[in-house]
């Protein structure tokens, strides 16, 4: 394998580089497909405000703006032969079946019925330090879109936008809570941008940016001038995911105590939550501390190599399915390895107190940055839908990621086996904890790609 490239990060958009530091608020503004001239005008007026090369607001700034384009917009401005070289999965509508979006998550219900993915031209991603900065940046973007004659699309039936904000921070100052109460942001991939080995789970830049196609990191455009044009750009899979917090909390209350009868009910609930995720809700990995939380160990490295049957961490727990490090992979997975994505999601909606549903929309606006939608994002979604990539799973391969699996997928089992030294506990009717409300594939162009594609000087 060729040694990993040194990427000139000064041309990357902020989302690719990291969670936008110091900005607890995010807004995604969705725009319709523009005429080619309108797109050029819009990008030209927004361009001075786009943040490349840093994920920090510049001094005195309180907002960071990024822009990603959907396939129908790029189709307007690219030569036919160049457009045809973009990844097929990006150009096609999301394949809801392969993503496991069955039943209530079916594509027909996405975007609250307000529009379909092929009407989307662009997402503008605003990160802000406070509400007034968010509104000011919004006004700037809306003005630029209006001046260019590009209509905004509203993904909520009531006309609202997609806004997200950090919930409470995690214990010991690391990460931030998601709905369901888990801390996120402990293990996120660190990209080895300078080609140098890193101490924390380094991700090869070729898994994140285009233009460095090779056997181990295939991407499209693969080579020739189209690959040069899109070098250092990334694909972005945007996923609007509703979380049923009431169902989740009731599940813990009902199933936790009978599964772990020796524990006090409150402790049994927490143990079941940990078995679903592979981490205690404070972030402690079960692989390191299977019997009790130890939050100061949240960001320590670990593998599942010494736990082949899941005594500490069940084999279908979320983080084990998404990153089965140290596990022997089978079938095609043995060749492709573990897909890497850079996660930049943020929770939306108010926290729910208790376990009675209040009918309010809440969940996570997931952003998965990668160099191949098909090989990385879609493969992870397929792994969550069918646990069939390692011999640690039952041979039928129909178990699912316990947390994010969609139980309406035909043939999927709803069982969850929790092995322990004293025998295997079992849940027979795993509920759906999530519902997909939208999926959009986008392109986060590098500075140079944006200049060339949109005809900026
Ligand atoms: C509402 C839905 C979801 C929730 C609540 C959730 C929550 C989490 C949490 C708490 C972690 C551990 C974070 C950490 O170690 O700091 C995690 C890890 C991860 N999740 Fe999710 N997730 C969700 C959906 C998804 C989806 C849809 C995907 C991809 C298709 C995904 C992919 C991953 C990956 C790759 C990791 C990293 C695993 C590791 O390296 O240890 N997640 N998720």
- Domain range list for the chain: 9-241+439-453
Confidence of residue 197 (pLDDT cuts 50, 70, 90): low
Buried b / exposed e over 81-109, threshold 16 CB at 10 Å, is ebbebbbebbbeebbbeebbbbeebebee
What is the pTM for the complete model shown?
A: 0.96
pLDDT tens-digit map of 323-378 = 999 999 999 999 999 999 999 999 999 999 989 999 999 999 999 999 999 999 99
pLDDT given for residue 52 in this prediction: 95
Question: How much is the pLDDT for 170?
Answer: 78
Burial of 135 (0-12, 13-18, 19+ CB in 10 A): middle
Query: What is the distance in A from the centroid of ligand 1 to the CA of 52?
Result: 26
Report the nearest atom of ligand 1 relative to the CA of 179.
5
Say how far apart CA 8 and CA 225 lie, in whole Å: 19
DSSP conformational letter for 27: E
Token code pair at residue 200? 């924390």
Closest Cα to residue 133, out of 66, 27, 62?
62
Query: Is 60 exceeded by the pLDDT of residue 234?
Result: yes
DSSP 69-103: E-HHHHHHHS-HHHHTTS-HHHHSPP-TTTTT--G
Q: Give the whole-angstrom CA distance, residue 13 versus residue 374.
A: 22
> Coil, helix or strand for 195?
coil
Q: Which residues pair with 184 in a beta bridge?
A: 176
pLDDT for residue 196 = 65
Split at pLDDT 50, 70, 90, the class of 2 is low
The whole-number average pLDDT for the span 135-155 is 98
pLDDT at 199 > cutoff 60: no
150 and 62 in contact (C-beta within 8 Å)?
no
Q: How would you class 217 by CB atoms within 10 Å of its CB: exposed for 0-12, middle for 13-18, buried for 19 or more? A: buried
322 lines ligand 1 (CB under 6 A): yes
Question: Using an 8 Å Cβ cutoff, are 390 and 329 in contact?
Answer: yes
Distance CA 167, CA 176 (A): 6
User: Within its chain, how far is the Cα of 371 from the centroid?
Assistant: 14
434 lines ligand 1 (CB under 6 A): yes
Helices and strands (H, E) in the chain, number of each type: 13, 16
Instruction: Give the pLDDT confidence of 60-81 residue by residue, as tens digits.
Output: 889 999 999 999 999 999 999 9
Helices 36-46/131-148 angle, 10° precision: 150
| Longest Cα separation, the chain | 69
Top-confidence residue, 259 or 354: 259
Does the CB atom of residue 366 touch ligand 1 within 6 A? yes
- Which tens digit of pLDDT belongs to each residue from 150-177? 999 999 999 999 999 999 887 877 888 9
Quote the ligand 1 centre to 288 CA distance (angstroms): 18
pLDDT tens-digit series, residues 281-327: 999 999 999 999 999 999 899 999 999 999 999 999 999 999 999 99
Identify the pLDDT of residue 272. 98
Per-residue model confidence as pLDDT tens digits over 105-126: 999 999 999 999 999 999 999 9
Average pLDDT of the chain? 94
- From 321, 343, 383, mutation site for ligand 1 pocket: most ligand atoms within 8 A of C-beta: 343
What pLDDT score was predicted for residue 202? 81
Please tell me if the CB atom of residue 318 comes closer than 6 angstroms to any atom of ligand 1: yes
Tally of CB atoms within 10 A around 140: 17
Distance 185 CA to ligand 1 centre (A): 9
pLDDT reported for residue 171? 80
Could you identify the residue written with the tokens 């070098």?
Answer: 231
Helix (H, G, I), strand (E, B) or coil at 316: coil
The pLDDT tens digits of the residues spanning 15-38 come to 999 878 789 999 999 999 999 999
Closest listed residue to residue 6, CA positions, set 200, 212, 216, 202: 212
Which position has the token pair 């960001």?
A: 299
Q: For residue 251, which phi and psi values (nearest 5 degrees)? A: -60, -45
CA distance linking residue 366 with residue 158, whole number of Å: 22
pLDDT at site 19: 79
Give per-residue pLDDT as tens, 91-107. Answer: 999 999 999 999 999 99
**CB atoms inside a 10 Å sphere around CB 2:** 10
* The dihedral formed by the CA atoms of 51, 137, 351 and 115, expressed in degrees to the nearest 10: -90
Q: 58 pLDDT band (50/70/90 cuts)?
A: confident
């Amino acid at each position: 394998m060729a040694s990993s490239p040194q990427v000139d990060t000064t041309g990357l958009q902020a989302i690719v580089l990291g969670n936008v530091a110091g900005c607890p608020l995010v807004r995604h503004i969705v725009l319709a497909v523009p005429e080619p001239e309108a797109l050029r005008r819009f990008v030209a007026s927004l361009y001075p405000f786009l943040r490349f090369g840093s994920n920090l607001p510049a001094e005195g700034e309180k907002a960071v703006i990024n822009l990603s384009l959907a396939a129908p917009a790029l189709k307007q401005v690219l030569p036919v032969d160049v457009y045809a070289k973009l990844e097929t999965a990006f150009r096609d509508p999301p394949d809801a079946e392969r993503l496991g979006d069955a039943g209530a998550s079916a594509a027909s219900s996405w975007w609250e019925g307000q529009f379909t993915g092929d009407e989307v031209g662009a997402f503008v991603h605003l990160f802000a330090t406070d509400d007034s900065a968010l509104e000011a940046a919004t006004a700037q973007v809306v003005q630029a879109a209006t001046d260019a004659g590009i209509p905004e699309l509203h993904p909520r039936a009531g006309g609202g936008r997609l806004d997200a904000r950090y919930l409470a921070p995690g214990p010991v100052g690391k990460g931030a809570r998601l709905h369901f109460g888990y801390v996120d942001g402990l293990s996120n991939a660190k990209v080895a941008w300078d080609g140098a080995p890193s101490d924390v789970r380094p991700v090869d830049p070729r898994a994140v940016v285009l233009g460095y196609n090779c056997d181990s990191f295939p991407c499209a455009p693969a080579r020739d001038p189209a690959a040069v044009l899109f070098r250092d750009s990334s694909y972005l899979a945007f996923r609007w995911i509703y979380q049923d917090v009431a169902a989740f909390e009731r599940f813990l209350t009902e199933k936790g105590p009978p599964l772990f009868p020796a524990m006090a009910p409150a402790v049994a609930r927490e143990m079941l939550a940990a078995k679903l995720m592979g981490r205690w809700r404070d972030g402690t990995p079960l692989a390191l501390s299977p019997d009790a939380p130890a939050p100061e160990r949240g960001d320590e490295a670990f593998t599942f190599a010494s736990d082949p049957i899941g005594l500490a961490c069940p084999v279908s727990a979320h983080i084990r399915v998404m990153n089965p490090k140290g596990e022997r992979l089978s079938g095609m997975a043995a060749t492709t390895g573990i897909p890497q994505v850079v996660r930049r999601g943020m929770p939306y909606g108010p926290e729910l107190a208790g376990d009675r549903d209040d009918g309010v929309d809440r969940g996570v606006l997931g952003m998965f940055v990668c160099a191949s939608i098909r090989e990385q994002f879609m493969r992870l979604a397929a792994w969550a839908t069918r646990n069939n990539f390692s011999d640690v799973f039952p041979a039928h391969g129909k178990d699912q990621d316990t947390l994010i699996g969609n139980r309406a997928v035909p043939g999927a089992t709803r069982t969850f086996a929790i092995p322990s030294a004293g025998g295997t506990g079992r849940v027979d009717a795993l509920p759906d904890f999530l519902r997909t409300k939208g999926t959009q594939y986008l392109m986060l162009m590098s500075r140079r790609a944006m200049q060339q594609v949109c005809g900026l000087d």
